[in-house]
Amino acid sequence: MTFDLDRIRAHFPALALQHDGMPRVYLDNPAGTQVPHEVLDRMQAAMVGCNANMHGNFRTSREATELVHQAHVAMADFYHAASPDEIVFGPNMTTLTFMMARVLGPLFEPGDEIITTHMEHDGNNTPWRRMAEDHGLVVKTLPWSRDTYEFDLDELHALITPRTKFASLNYASNILGTINPVPQMVAMLKAAGAITYVDAVQYAPHGPIDVQALGCDFLVSSSYKYYGPHQGVLWGRGELLDRLRAFKLRVVPDVAPDKFETGCQSLEGQAGVIGAIEYLQWLGTTMGSEHLHSQPGVPRRTAEIHAAMAAMAEYEYALSGRLIAGLQAIDGVQVHGITDPASFERRVPTVSFSRVGTQPSDVAGFLDDHGVYVWNGHNYALPVIEWLGLADLGGVVRIGPTHYNTLAEVDRAVELVAEFVTAH
């Protein structure tokens, strides 16, 4: 099945917009993606048709309650969770993670150890350091190699002790693009009895997730990175969610997910998440059919989403290859991440670079003058930028294509970077 970019792009109204008469080129996708009409339609239908709070005894409230339930069912399929009750919605990953740090902290004793890594977005770093401060825990940090841009699992092994109680792990880096060997890391930590919390925000737009196969205890992502609206979605192992003491109001039932979703939730946001899943299902069934395999115990919708991810990844390898080779050909540019096409299955298409003497913010500004949108700076991944030694130099320029970008758009970005470098 060919990957039909025209059909794909027609789903996203924003891709047709202009920037001062030039086509807009969205290469800021690691920060947030554009949304397809499935999402917009779902959000509008929710806001027009059942804009009410849940659990009332009237039609629109009943419909809102059902819609919210369906959003949990959809995300359970996205993560391949055992139950929709293991899905907790929140405004974003960071807020959910601060909440979980507050909830998990009392499980630990002073002197217990937690592990985090130098590859984290700060959203999977500071909440846990704060938890450690509040409960007298020792924080150990797993480095990554500045040669390979990957972890050395022997180094993880060396950090684990009988007192290791918790680890926060990055699935894919929002700067380097590296996809980490999370199943192996989780297995090592589980063997020591530690709780594992996986930040899948950058991985989720590019690869299939199966929390039951991963074996972790928590996993979190943000739907606005995979074509949905601004919503964070946490999965937690059922028996852990059940026994954790939530910060909830008396009137809220003491059951998951309700006890973690206290206060009125974003009905329109959760409706939009259903739309994002519908879009992925469309992609999986129309353009990923050769990857669509039924497996016993795996819902059809999960298989369709995984087929979409496989089809997207195949195409995204081509985008990464073109982008990385183009950037490396520019004098003085250093790409920070895996660059060998033979290893592209160990990276997402998020590509960051720096160049001595070139201010990342100036590059982003120059590209914006030409309608090309990219991020610069630390992108909240402070541990990564510090480990790269770029904290005082303005961080990196990050170019992040996704499956709706064309090769011509990537070429355009590379040409503009080259033009900027030549002129400065």
Ligand X SMILES: Cc1ncc(COP(=O)(O)O)c(C=O)c1O
Interface positions with ligand X (CB under 6 A): 31, 92-94, 121, 123-124, 174, 199, 201-202, 222, 232, 380
Q: Of 222 and 354, which CB lies nearer to ligand X in the complex structure?
A: 222
Q: Of 237 and 398, which CB lies nearer to ligand X in the complex structure?
A: 398
Name residue, tokens 């028996």: 239
Distance (Å, whole) CA 214 – CA 187? 8
Q: Of 317 and 380, which CB lies nearer to ligand X in the complex structure?
A: 380
Name residue, tokens 């990219």: 374
Minimal CA–CA distance to 86: which of 275, 212, 170, 264? 212
Q: Of 88 and 160, which CB lies nearer to ligand X in the complex structure?
A: 88
Q: Of 174 and 339, which CB lies nearer to ligand X in the complex structure?
A: 174
Q: Of 394 and 400, which CB lies nearer to ligand X in the complex structure?
A: 400
Minimal CA–CA distance to 88: which of 235, 274, 207? 235
Q: Of 124 and 358, which CB lies nearer to ligand X in the complex structure?
A: 124
- CB 232 to ligand X: min, Å: 5
Q: Of 232 and 337, which CB lies nearer to ligand X in the complex structure?
A: 232
Terminal Cα-to-Cα distance of the chain (whole angstroms): 44
Strands (E), 269-362: 333-335, 351-355
- CB 30 to ligand X: min, Å: 6
Name residue, tokens 């996809």: 179
Q: What does residue 7 show for φ and ψ, rounded to 5 degrees? A: -65, -40
Angle CA(220)–CA(180)–CA(137) in degrees, nearest 5? 65
Q: Are 236 and 88 in contact (CB under 8 A)?
A: yes
Strand partners, 116: 141
Q: Of 123 and 288, which CB lies nearer to ligand X in the complex structure?
A: 123
- Joined tokens for residue 411: 């070429």
Name residue, tokens 């590059």: 363
Residue type, 415: E
- CB 145 to ligand X: min, Å: 19
Distance (Å, whole) CA 316 – CA 321? 8
Distance (Å, whole) CA 351 – CA 424? 22
- CB 172 to ligand X: min, Å: 7
- CB 112 to ligand X: min, Å: 24
- CB 378 to ligand X: min, Å: 11
Distance (Å, whole) CA 93 – CA 293? 31
Enumerate residues 6+ apart whose C-beta is below 8 A from 405: 25, 26, 27, 29, 319
- CB 222 to ligand X: min, Å: 3
Going by the DSSP 8-state scheme, the letter that residue 22 receives in this structure is E
- CB 424 to ligand X: min, Å: 28
Distance (Å, whole) CA 320 – CA 349? 5
- CB 354 to ligand X: min, Å: 18
